[in-house]
Chains A and B, each alone.
Chain A
């Protein structure tokens, strides 16, 4: 029996393990490979780092592989590091590999995925992207200042100060003014929070970045060493001639108490954990002069555009049927506030109608500055067939770097209009996106219905689900208990009789009740059988061998009270008088006796149950 139970348990164990493996399989099978690129925008000739992080349990020596690309070349591996953690007996390893690449060709390029082979399986990272700008693009400024700030720029206190580096001190309205903020912290002073951001009165400000991952460097200012942290970069556009204020940050920092030795935890967590004093550190606001735009040389059609721009024009197709739409796209790109830019001008042939003029700002933060770009789109519908020339396209601007007005332009474009079937007066509608996907289309809608499904609650919120789920194990548990009890009672007759004693006595009393109107000796015999049978069951002895004296002794030994024992003797006497003495009580007396016998059995049953014997 025990062997069979062991086998069954083993079988359950195996099945449970299979279920857990099936559900958890994707989790234990994972080795994670991550790929990060820094910076994600570079100029041709500049370098960028690809960081590959491989993590997983039981990892041994692995080397990630990165695919080559004509857009960049690998300079070598710059760094590796490893960290190991043990959780619940499982060793989890994280390895980081840094690779240095040099950009060689312009383009938006895919990097990766990094692949790692482990235990016969290849694990891949996501694909990263790096934007490589042309070689003649503006050099991307680095985060750390080239030179320490002047005394006049500092403000702050002996624990540190905030420096705002403005690249120009006299500018024109609308000119792009980059501003970079740095926090100079004295040794032992760590930046904790940005309490207030700078205020720029007289200018429109666009944030390029705010501190995310601190990038530290060390410099000396007046012989005092500082740790420099780049805080933020903004691009400002002065609104009108006059003065423009470049505000400063207010920072919360923590400085190490003097005299206390720094320890490993300070270096790792900063003074926040090791203790220190809260400091508020600010910088001095700066004032920039905004010069008025010169009147000399101002074109008649100048509409206030300021910046260093280039203009490009394009059509979405070189040929179009009369009455069909063609999209003209004019892109203005460069340095300046493109949000305030007016649309370039061009001469449109009379045979064309223009619809849906729209523009969008496609400016993007590129490393430490903003690459400004605005796109103007016009839908043109030629009314007649023929060969047409659109353009040239011009945009009069004031170039603040040169300090003079100029007209940026894009060359004219030819468009062939073929005879069309559509009506020339038709209003162009925006093409459905679905048609635009290489001639494919979506699948059609579902047909008409005669009924619809209503909103249904999740099964876990319904009673039937929990009923079906729980009724099985509960019923099974009850069945196991029942079978075990039956087996137990089979081996313990005394207990079985004791448990059944009350029920059996009730049955016998019911028999006696049937005989209450019959012969007195018969009725007395039934009552005696019920009472002595009950006592025999309780004492686990055979009923015929039980005498009044042995029954009394047995009940007394089980803690039955003297009063009940006396009542027992009296009942037996009454039964014997009816059975053997010729006594024939009335029906009422018989009923009273039956009731008294029932009460006695019940009381004794209760006393025995209470006594636990």
Chain B
């Protein structure tokens, strides 16, 4: 028994040691990136932050700082990409939202403002203010709590509070379903193949080849969604609903 425990402890130690080491390296690289940023060496800051990312860390703060460094280094596409990624991990962070909007205003392409109704805003609230995992956790917890209430109350046939407690349990389950719906909407809106245009100017074509006609041109930092990938070309859709083909190398994936 003692031998078995020793083996388990050793195995766990071997498993955890590299993680701890890489965590230290990532934190050191992140802090070094901050120091470089503060001394206006943005290229060095980017390099350090990217080193931290390569260790397997995508902390919202790291992505946000990376976005700041890319913006200072005048790489708008990359900056918007990382602010978008940071906003997925820290949706309630005011700094992230502010800098993302700030960077979007620097884009050459203007997009029309979309006015939302009150119902749409209420419906979108949790989607924009919570991460996908938070929505999933809220769904699972509400569901569990609701069913626990129902399990406890169900056999109490004569309890005068039974109906009220069943309503509470049902409400929690309905809430869980609502969170599930929001999670699905979150996935539809922010999941999938979202990209940011990385090229200064990107002619979007009618087909996947340079010989195809240019339908419209977008510029660095424009958001798009990839609808289809064919070889080195992607069929993209920009927020106005226009679709066309662009080379993959000009698109920066968000995720």
Interface string of A512-539 (1 = CB under 8 A from B): 0000000000000000000000000000
Interface string of B22-48 (1 = CB under 8 A from A): 010011001100100110000000000
Say if the beta carbon of B151 comes within 8 Å of chain A: yes
Q: Are B71 and A7 in contact (CB under 8 A)?
A: no
Say if the beta carbon of B202 comes within 8 Å of chain A: no
Within 8 A of A (CB), among B157-182: 163, 166-167, 170-171, 173-175, 177-178, 181-182
Q: Are B155 and A479 in contact (CB under 8 A)?
A: yes
Say if the beta carbon of B247 comes within 8 Å of chain A: no
Q: In the complex, A61 Cα to B153 Cα: how many Å?
A: 53
Q: Are A459 and B133 in contact (CB under 8 A)?
A: yes
Write the nearest CB–CB distance from B175 to chain A, whole angstroms.
8
Nearest B residue to A24 via CB reads: B181
Q: Are A26 and B123 in contact (CB under 8 A)?
A: yes
Write the nearest CB–CB distance from B21 to chain A, whole angstroms.
13
Q: Pick from A12, A210, A472: contact of B147, CB below 8 A.
A: A472
Q: Pick from A12, A364, A433, A479: contact of B154, CB below 8 A.
A: A479
**Chain A to chain B contacts (Cβ below 8 Å), 14 pairs:** A11-B170, A22-B123, A23-B185, A24-B181, A29-B119, A210-B213, A212-B215, A364-B217, A443-B98, A449-B27, A452-B62, A453-B57, A458-B136, A479-B154
Say if the beta carbon of B91 comes within 8 Å of chain A: no
Contacts of B182 in A (CB 8 A): 23
Q: In the complex, A445 Cα to B214 Cα: how many Å?
A: 39
Nearest A residue to B29 via CB reads: A452
Say if the beta carbon of A483 comes within 8 Å of chain B: yes
Q: Are A460 and B136 in contact (CB under 8 A)?
A: yes
Q: Are B61 and A436 in contact (CB under 8 A)?
A: no
Q: In the complex, A208 Cα to B163 Cα: how many Å?
A: 71
Q: Known contacts A445-B68, A448-B34, A479-B154: does B106 contact A436 (CB below 8 Å)? A: yes
Say if the beta carbon of A106 comes within 8 Å of chain B: no
Q: Pick from A15, A212, A365: contact of B171, CB below 8 A.
A: A15
Q: Are B213 and A22 in contact (CB under 8 A)?
A: no
Nearest A residue to B26 via CB reads: A452
Of A120-128, A134-142, A412-420, the one touching chain B: A120-128
Say if the beta carbon of A81 comes within 8 Å of chain B: no
> Which residues of chain B have a CB within 8 Å of any CB of chain A?
23, 26-27, 30-31, 34, 37-38, 52, 56-62, 64-65, 68-69, 71-72, 74, 76, 89, 95, 98-99, 102-103, 105-106, 112, 115, 117, 119-120, 122-124, 132-133, 136-137, 139-141, 143-144, 146-148, 150-151, 154-155, 163, 166-167, 170-171, 173-175, 177-178, 181-182, 184-185, 201, 206, 211-215, 217, 240-241
Contacts of A376 in B (CB 8 A): none
What 8 A-B pairs have minimum CB-CB distances, sorted nearest first? Answer: A472-B147, A23-B181, A459-B136, A468-B140, A446-B61, A452-B59, A127-B112, A210-B213
Write the nearest CB–CB distance from B88 to chain A, whole angstroms.
11
Contacts of A465 in B (CB 8 A): 136-137, 140
Say if the beta carbon of A456 comes within 8 Å of chain B: yes
Q: Are B143 and A472 in contact (CB under 8 A)?
A: yes
Nearest B residue to A441 via CB reads: B102
Q: Are A433 and B62 in contact (CB under 8 A)?
A: no
Q: Known contacts A445-B34, A455-B56: does B64 contact A210 (CB below 8 Å)? A: no
Q: Are A471 and B72 in contact (CB under 8 A)?
A: no
Q: In the complex, A212 Cα to B244 Cα: how many Å?
A: 12
Say if the beta carbon of A147 comes within 8 Å of chain B: no
Contacts of B124 in A (CB 8 A): 26
Q: Pick from A26, A444, A452, A456: contact of B23, CB below 8 A.
A: A452
Contacts of A432 in B (CB 8 A): 71-72, 74
Nearest A residue to B120 via CB reads: A26
Write the nearest CB–CB distance from B37 to chain A, whole angstroms.
6
Contacts of A197 in B (CB 8 A): 211
Say if the beta carbon of A430 comes within 8 Å of chain B: yes
Say if the beta carbon of A422 comes within 8 Å of chain B: no
Contacts of B56 in A (CB 8 A): 454-455
Give the size range of A's interface with the partner: 35 or more
Q: Are A15 and B174 in contact (CB under 8 A)?
A: yes
Q: Are A480 and B212 in contact (CB under 8 A)?
A: no
Nearest B residue to A445 via CB reads: B65
Q: Are A7 and B163 in contact (CB under 8 A)?
A: yes
Q: Are B76 and A452 in contact (CB under 8 A)?
A: no
Q: In the complex, A354 Cα to B122 Cα: how many Å?
A: 56
Q: In the complex, A113 Cα to B112 Cα: how many Å?
A: 9
Nearest A residue to B139 via CB reads: A469
Say if the beta carbon of A451 comes within 8 Å of chain B: yes
Q: Are A448 and B57 in contact (CB under 8 A)?
A: no
Contacts of A15 in B (CB 8 A): 167, 170-171, 173-174
Q: Are A443 and B181 in contact (CB under 8 A)?
A: no
Q: Are B72 and A210 in contact (CB under 8 A)?
A: no
Say if the beta carbon of A60 comes within 8 Å of chain B: no
Say if the beta carbon of A475 comes within 8 Å of chain B: yes
Say if the beta carbon of A273 comes within 8 Å of chain B: no
Q: Are A452 and B30 in contact (CB under 8 A)?
A: yes
Say if the beta carbon of A473 comes within 8 Å of chain B: yes
Contacts of A23 in B (CB 8 A): 123, 177-178, 181-182, 184-185
Q: Are A455 and B57 in contact (CB under 8 A)?
A: yes
Nearest B residue to A4 via CB reads: B163
Q: Are A451 and B178 in contact (CB under 8 A)?
A: no
Q: Pick from A29, A209, A445, A452: contact of B213, CB below 8 A.
A: A209
Q: Are B98 and A459 in contact (CB under 8 A)?
A: no
Q: Known contacts A443-B98, A449-B61, A452-B23: does B178 contact A22 (CB below 8 Å)? A: yes
Contacts of B23 in A (CB 8 A): 451-452, 454
Q: Pick from B123, B137, B206: contact of A25, CB below 8 A.
A: B123
Say if the beta carbon of A542 comes within 8 Å of chain B: no
Interface string of A1-45 (1 = CB under 8 A from B): 000100110011001101110111110010000000000000000
Contacts of B99 in A (CB 8 A): 442-443
Q: In the complex, A437 Cα to B71 Cα: how many Å?
A: 12
Contacts of B122 in A (CB 8 A): 25
Q: In the complex, A4 Cα to B164 Cα: how many Å?
A: 12
Q: In the complex, A31 Cα to B115 Cα: how many Å?
A: 13
Q: Are A459 and B64 in contact (CB under 8 A)?
A: no
Contacts of A260 in B (CB 8 A): none
Q: In the complex, A437 Cα to B106 Cα: how many Å?
A: 7
Q: Are A430 and B62 in contact (CB under 8 A)?
A: no
Write the nearest CB–CB distance from B182 to chain A, whole angstroms.
7
Q: Are B178 and A19 in contact (CB under 8 A)?
A: yes
Q: Are A18 and B174 in contact (CB under 8 A)?
A: yes
Q: In the complex, A460 Cα to B184 Cα: how many Å?
A: 11
Contacts of B174 in A (CB 8 A): 15-16, 18-19
Contacts of A212 in B (CB 8 A): 206, 213, 215
Q: In the complex, A285 Cα to B6 Cα: how many Å?
A: 85
Q: Pick from A8, A437, A456: contact of B166, CB below 8 A.
A: A8
Say if the beta carbon of A450 comes within 8 Å of chain B: yes
Q: Are A365 and B144 in contact (CB under 8 A)?
A: no
